[in-house]
Amino acid sequence: MLLASCANPDNDKISVSMQTGNNWPVYGGNKAGNRYSPLTQINRNNVNNLKIVWEYNSAGPEDSNVNRFGSLGQMECQPIVVDGVLYGTTPGLDLFALNATTGKQLWKFKIPREREKFNNNRGVMYWQNANDKRILYTAGSYLYAVNALTGQSISDFGKDGKVDLHEGLSIGFDVSNLSVTATSPGIVYKNVLVLGCSVTEAGDSAPGYVRGFDIISGKLLWTFHTIPLPGEFGYDTWPENAYKKFGGTNNWSGMALDEKRGVVYFGTGSPSSDFYGGDREGENLFANCIIALDAATGKMKWYYQTVHHDLWDRDISCPPNLVTINHNGKKTDVVVQATKDGLVYVLDRDSGTSVFPVEERSVPADNHLPGESPWPTQKFPLKPLPFSNQQFTDSDITNISPEAHDYVKQLIKGYAYGTNFIPPDTSGILLFGYSGGAEWGGNAIDPDGILYQNANHDLWLLQMISSAEMEKKITAASSGHDLYAINCSTCHGLDRKGSSEFPSLLNIDKQLSGQQIDNVLKEGRGRMPSFSQLSKSQRDKIINFLFGNKSGNIKETAPDEGGADETAARKILPYYPPYVAKTWRIVTDQNGYSAVKPPWGTLSAIDLNTGEYLWNIPLGEYPELTKKGIQATGTTNYGGPIVTASGLVFIAATMDQKIRAFDKKTGKVVWEHSLPFGGFATPVTYEVNGRQYIAIACGGGRGGKTGSLYVAFALP
């Protein structure tokens, strides 16, 4: 029988099972989030002997169709390991437990397939009180509590074992029909689960409030309003009653916890909708902030805004981590936050002040969209220097061949570029900072205060269009092809092939039914907004186009909604922006390689004690370019590193589908191994019965083949 009491006299202490070493008990390794392991069995001298010792295919029949599209065909889960049991999630967001030495399944918890609404899942949470051991995790719009020993739902948690993630968000407007999920796990403090959420980034976005839930009952304990209510601090940094209109400003990337201080640290995203802020004049607190909250009450300790009045989707895209550095001869507890635009903030953990100098500089504030009021200054940290590109110039155009150089030079004519803070407009701007800098995979920090950070260096094109003009185009569109080009090609491409950011829609009829696609179009999914402004007949035309139906007969679509037209559908949105993105894509050469000079992906080691770089190297390769003598390009990468006491940094993440180990002192590759599918997740390491393992989720995707394997390595 499960215990129902919260009493635990030892709850203030960290139990052995929750320490990183034999176990990897928390997303990020420990609650400080520094992805560091004290294990030393695998070291520089023997890492070349690593072999695959088990593989686990996490998919079941229920994963074959709906979840391939629902989760973009990839797994981002960093599993946890507690007392010889590995817990992770499938592409379809079911939860499983494995024997961590053999990969044998112990149990699987399957979520109900009530609605075709799914999200990426990056990890799960573990909590125990004596014999009450729980896994808490999110799937779709629910937070589930599962018995860690049996895989059975804990029925007295929330309602029938789950809590609706919409709870507590309908303050300014009704969010019950809006997309609310949670891609990254929250963090556990005593009996409080602190949780962020993932919402869309358009006018149909719910507010991204951070909440605390009782782990025993599932009851909502507190809510921190990231868009302040009347009378709350920060309310005057928005127009009046902004909380009744705008969403976003959410923590979707994860958290860190100082257990001794009882303080949780996290970053927030931009306000919705992306790229236009004319209706939300002001700094817009607490968007784009590093925030410290009392974990028990949700009361704010301090905040630090990294981007004022964000117009560029500069979400804080990875969890912070906690470390103690020796700065100017003094030991200082700091919170370290890397950003999507390639900056590193090192802040005093108690005050939120920067350890290193940060300048507030003027940025362009003219040539903006009508009604817009760009903030005139932005932050520029002087140390550490940025780890990814900050401004695009002609000298940055790719040099891998004369043909590629000339192609890109011609392609970018007419677009504005230079600083990363050019206000978006209808003519188009070129800038860095969408796919990283830092991404959700995060980074690793060892006890010496050395930060290991992977990065992307892609150039993006952003071009806006007025909603009125977009609406005219939609109304005038008579075919599914035209409607697809207007609404979908921005992300998935006119050729429907997708990219490293967005999935291919080729042969989508073999993966999803018309009903399933219709649900995704109506409700949105993760970064994809709802297209509820489209009428049923318009959605049908898009689906027919995707299915290649010459007859016009739609397959399995939803029933008619009563003939609602575009205007009526639009009224259900809490906010309908006057400008939206027309084009938002990575700029490439004629062969699909990055438009800028290599390296396109890197891994850096930064000494946080001094703010200086120790090394910076390309991460990954394109074998076909290497064969041509074009080496050291690096690749776009998704997933993060871990670091061990034996001096190794492990990371997969690259498009060449390899996992590598680097000497943490030199950045030299000391081992690499091909994975069965791309490893776009962060690995873990743990020890059972005296044997150390490295494990990673291999789900592929990002334009490559997809799978559903977890793979573990160990020494013979």
C-alpha span between 273 and 287 (Å, rounded): 12
* DSSP annotation string for 528-567: BPP-TTS-HHHHHHHHHHHHT-SS---SSPPPP-SS--HH
SS3 string of 201-260? CCCCCCECCEEEEECCCCCEEEEECCCCCCCCCCHHHCCCCHHHCCCECCCCCCEEEECC
State yes or no: pLDDT of 682 exceeds 70: yes
H-helix or E-strand containing 484? Answer: helix 480-487
Overall number of domains in the chain: 1
C-alpha span between 259 and 152 (Å, rounded): 29
Tokens, residue 10: 């030892």
C-alpha span between 655 and 704 (Å, rounded): 8
Find out whether 80 and 684 touch, Cβ atoms under 8 Å: yes
Q: Is residue 512 part of a domain?
A: yes
State yes or no: pLDDT of 14 exceeds 60: no
Q: Is residue 672 part of a domain?
A: no
Amino acid at 245: K
C-alpha span between 408 and 587 (Å, rounded): 8
Find out whether 460 and 412 touch, Cβ atoms under 8 Å: no
CATH of the domain at 548: 1.10.760.10
* DSSP annotation string for 616-633: EEE----HHHHHTT----
Amino acid at 412: I
pLDDT, position 113 = 65
Alpha carbon separation from 234 to 245, 284, 285 (Å, rounded): 16, 8, 6
Strands 459-466 and 579-586: antiparallel
Count of CB atoms situated within 10 Å of the CB of 468: 10
State yes or no: pLDDT of 649 exceeds 90: yes
**Angle separating helix axes 480-487 and 467-476, nearest 10 degrees:** 160
Alpha carbon separation from 73 to 501, 613, 707 (Å, rounded): 12, 36, 7
Strands 142-147 and 198-199: unpaired
Amino acid at 436: G
Find out whether 237 and 285 touch, Cβ atoms under 8 Å: yes
Alpha carbon separation from 593 to 55, 220, 340, 437, 553 (Å, rounded): 32, 47, 21, 18, 38
CA atoms within a 13 Å half-sphere pointing along the CA-CB vector of 213? 28
C-alpha span between 533 and 524 (Å, rounded): 12
pTM of the model: 0.92
Q: Which of 394, 390, 302, 400 is nearest to 349 (CA)?
A: 302
Tokens, residue 625: 């370019």
H-helix or E-strand containing 515? Answer: helix 514-523
Q: Quick one: 524 exposed, middle or buried, by C-beta within 10 A (0-12, 13-18, 19+)?
A: buried
Q: What value does the mean pLDDT take over residues 589-593?
A: 96
Q: Is residue 641 part of a domain?
A: no
pLDDT, position 479 = 83
Tokens, residue 62: 């229920």
Query: 332 pairs with which residues across the strands?
Result: 325
pLDDT, position 484 = 77
Angle at 608 between CA 47 and CA 249, to 5 degrees: 100
Exposure string for 594-633, b = 16+ CB within 10 A, e = fewer: bbbbbbbbbbbbbebbbbeebbbbbbbbbeebeeeebeeb
Q: What value does the mean pLDDT take over residues 693-713?
A: 91
Q: Is residue 227 part of a domain?
A: no
Q: Is residue 612 part of a domain?
A: no
State yes or no: pLDDT of 13 exceeds 70: no
Tell me how far apart the 2 most distant CA atoms of the chain are, in Å.
Answer: 75
State yes or no: pLDDT of 568 exceeds 60: no
Q: Is residue 632 part of a domain?
A: no
Q: Look up residue 654 and give its DSSP letter.
A: B
Query: Which ranges of 320-401 does DSSP label H, i.e. alpha helix?
Result: none
Q: What value does the mean pLDDT take over residues 80-100?
A: 96
C-alpha span between 562 and 536 (Å, rounded): 9
Q: Is residue 188 part of a domain?
A: no
Q: What value does the mean pLDDT take over residues 339-345?
A: 97
pLDDT, position 552 = 40
C-alpha span between 318 and 252 (Å, rounded): 8
Residue position matching structure tokens 């001794």 = 260
Q: Which domain holds residue 480?
A: 463-586
Angle at 458 between CA 427 and CA 650, to 5 degrees: 160
State yes or no: pLDDT of 234 exceeds 90: yes
Amino acid at 402: P
pLDDT, position 557 = 42
Share of residues in the chain with pLDDT > 90 (%): 74
CA atoms within a 13 Å half-sphere pointing along the CA-CB vector of 510? 4
Exposure string for 558-569, b = 16+ CB within 10 A, e = fewer: beeeeebeeeeb
Residues 6+ apart with CB under 8 A from 270: 201, 248, 249, 287, 288, 307, 310, 312, 313, 314, 315
Tokens, residue 608: 């946080």
pLDDT, position 209 = 98
Q: Which residue has the higher pLDDT, 521 or 616?
A: 616
530-556: per-residue pLDDT in tens?
676 678 888 888 888 888 864 344 443
Q: What value does the mean pLDDT take over residues 188-208?
A: 95
pLDDT, position 569 = 43
Question: Collapsing DSSP states into helix, strand and coil, what is residue 589?
Answer: coil
Find the length of the chain. 716
State yes or no: pLDDT of 168 exceeds 80: yes
Find out whether 114 and 125 touch, Cβ atoms under 8 Å: no
Phi then psi dihedrals of residue 623, to 5 deg: -55, -35
pLDDT band at 527, cuts 50/70/90? low
pLDDT band at 192, cuts 50/70/90? very high
Q: Is residue 361 part of a domain?
A: no
pLDDT, position 10 = 39
Find out whether 202 and 533 touch, Cβ atoms under 8 Å: no
